[in-house]
Amino acid sequence: MRNAFTFAKKELSVYFTTPIAYVMFALVTLIGSFFFLSLVGQYQQTSMFYMRFNNPEVMNRLNFMDMVLMPLTVNMGVIFIFVAPFLTMRLLSEERKQKTMELLLSTPVTSAEIVIGKYIACCVIMLACVVLTLVYPLSLQLSASTSAGIDWPTVIAGDVGLFLLGCAFMAVGLFFSALTESQMVAALATFMTLLISWVLGWRAQEAEGVMKDVVQFLSSTQHIVSFAKGNVDAKDLAYFFSVILFGLFLSHRAVEAQRWS
């Protein structure tokens, strides 16, 4: 697997020697900050409303973990729908367009090493994006009146789910990048697929019986919500790892097909 890490190192150098990574970090931070400040503002308005009417029972039920950090994690998942196509669209499409894929395949490098190396690189960028989101609970902790202001196990569970979601999105994007030499086509196909997987959760409420269970399992929304609540369920882990492994398998088969074409 040494060759895979060589590919990963090469792709990471491309990300950090070009504006790609820095633009992505800036966008994730800016959009995430917008969601964070909006949710904090809503929480403050709600708290002031019930304080005005002197309703201590409702005030005791207000929890900024449920009203701020949980929806923030879910909203970050929406941002990743846009991030993943941007990060993955060039990984294999560029190799095909520049005719360097044939050169790579003629060397003693396996298709799996090419796919895994490029996948590791984009997952490292995704991990950095997730780490950036820790600034929001940290800022709340610093401004909290007590040391027990943040439920950190829930925050960590949400970030783990967010990272797994991002890795699953990257696997889908890598597959579409392996199918075409057009980066725009790869990005659009990835975005549409991820968007469909997200909005499936909206249809789950209308389905019944077995169909409802199937739609809920296929919906990425349902699984990230569970992590955002602090629930690490085997079903959610199975979903993310299934998407990752299936995406990598299809990417490998697509690259391998080029070897024999």
Read off the amino acid at residue 43.
Y
Low-confidence ranges of the chain (pLDDT < 70): 49-62, 144-149, 203-209, 260-261
pLDDT at 51: 64
pLDDT at 82: 92
Rounded Cα distance, 252 and 111, in Å: 6
Give Cα separations from 83 to 24, 31, 57, 148, 197 (angstroms). 7, 11, 41, 33, 15
CA 105 to chain CA mean position, Å: 30
CB 230 within 8 Å of CB 156: no
| DSSP string of 202-216, one letter each residue | HHTTT--HHHHHHHH
Each residue's pLDDT tens digit, 162-211: 999 999 999 999 999 999 888 999 999 999 999 998 888 776 666 666 77
Per DSSP, 60 falls in state H
Each residue's pLDDT tens digit, 93-107: 888 888 777 777 777
Which of 124, 69, 130 lies closest to 91 in space, CA to CA? Answer: 124
pLDDT at 55: 58
